[in-house]
Amino acid sequence: MVIRYLEQYQLLSIENFQHVSLEDRLKINECIEKSYLISPLSRGNSENGYNFPIIENNILFFFNLYKKYIKLCHNLFGTFHITPQNQSTCWCYRSNLNESNSVWHNHLATSTINGVYYYQVEGDGIFFERQGKEFYYVPQQGELLIFPNDLNHKPEKATSENWRYSINMEILTEESSSTLFNDLYGLS
């Protein structure tokens, strides 16, 4: 596993974080779509944002993905203490050319360490903003980006008719993101 520090963006990139076979992709996509259909987003209710929780997880893919993410973060950051309020739920951002909602946001209220796994993407990027400077990055399919909870970001509007799925994973710790990321590489 190759871990790169993208200094311009102040984030970590892990390419090919999780390989998914075509056979598994069909099952995973079905889980995502079932979770979408039972979410308020499927009925046009975006009151709580444009992500929805992956609830239909009968193949354990998302459980194992989060478990692998936690293990990687422990390897990167060392000892940290997860709060009782932490939720191991994976959340999906789903978009395509016809359905796309891109808004600036951060994860200050819900996490300390934020991870986005680009499960299914076709060249669309993500915008980051720090201290008034905006940056653009194009993640590859299978790439995981890890960044502090205060990093403002928004996905680029999708340009394909195929579904783009990115999976958000959060870790809420007793330690602050500035402490964890400063200890890691002088980030944040």
Residue 186 pLDDT class (50, 70, 90 cuts): low
Place of tokens 């940056």: 135
* Cα of 94 vs its chain's centroid, Å: 12
* pLDDT value for 27: 94
User: pLDDT averaged over the chain?
Assistant: 91
pLDDT in tens, 28-80: 999 999 999 999 888 888 776 788 999 877 789 999 999 999 999 999 999 99
Q: How far apart are CA 152 and CA 105, in angstroms?
A: 5
Q: How far apart are CA 138 and CA 135, in angstroms?
A: 10
pLDDT of 188 above 70: no
* pLDDT value for 187: 47
pLDDT in tens, 78-94: 999 999 999 999 999 99
* pLDDT value for 59: 81
Q: How would you label 25-61 residue by residue, b for 16+ Cβ within 10 Å and e otherwise?
A: eeebeebbeebbeebebeeeeeeeebbbbbebbeeeb
What mean pLDDT comes out for the span 158-172? Answer: 95
Name the pTM for this structure. 0.93
